[in-house]
Amino acid sequence: MVLVIVVIDAPRRQQRLTLEDVTNQGRYLLNNFIYERMQSDGIETVPGIEQLQEPGTPTGPPMEHVREIGRALRFIGDDLDKDQKLQELVNRVPPEAERQTLLTVASNIFKDGIFNWGRVVALFYFAYKVCLKALDRIPLIRAIINLIVEFMRDHVVRWIIERGGWTF
């Protein structure tokens, strides 16, 4: 007697999310957020997406529903355009501000210890607005993005992993 087991449409085993993978996915999403916001805001000289990061920068494993994630990030970002307090805060931060100044602003977004997707997008939005002031200085834009990605890795990514990754 031979026992044959047929598995039809077995659910894929979910891959364990690592700090490095989710950080790299965050870098990918941040770069796309900045690039797409520049395009939608009508910036004339939008740097190519490949210019926003160092060559060979890892993007992490592919994400399901990346377009939907990007759309959700943009939607929340559009609402932030209307936040006057945020606009005033961002306007006071020059792109060449010291590293600690940028980190302080990023930390203030989460200073009460509450993490949510709106605040993650506020961090992306802050990075976008500061990068916008450095359009003609690609190395400075890369440095800003790298700093925000480091901040995410150190303070935000564990929360994202607890939520199952970049899912809204």
DSSP letter string, 35-85:
HHHHHHTT-SSPPPGGGGS-TT----S--TTHHHHHHHHHHHHHHHTT-HH
pLDDT at 14: 54
97 vs 2, residue with greater confidence: 97
What mean pLDDT value characterizes the chain? Answer: 85
pLDDT at 61: 64
The mean-pLDDT minimum among 45-59, 71-85, 114-128 falls in 45-59
- Contact by Cβ (8 Å): 105, 126: yes
**Percent of the chain residues topping a pLDDT of 90:** 51
Query: Residue 130 — very low, low, confident or very high, per pLDDT cuts 50/70/90?
Result: very high
User: In the chain, what are the domains?
Assistant: 19-41+66-162 (1.10.437.10)
Q: Is the pLDDT of residue 73 over 50?
A: yes
Q: What share of the chain is helix, strand, coil (3-state, %, to 5)?
A: 60, 0, 40
pLDDT in tens, 10-42: 344 456 889 999 999 999 999 999 999 999 989
pLDDT at 154: 98
Query: pTM for this one?
Result: 0.83
B/e letters for 25-41, b = 16+ CB within 10 Å, e = fewer, are: bbbbbbbbbbbbbbeee
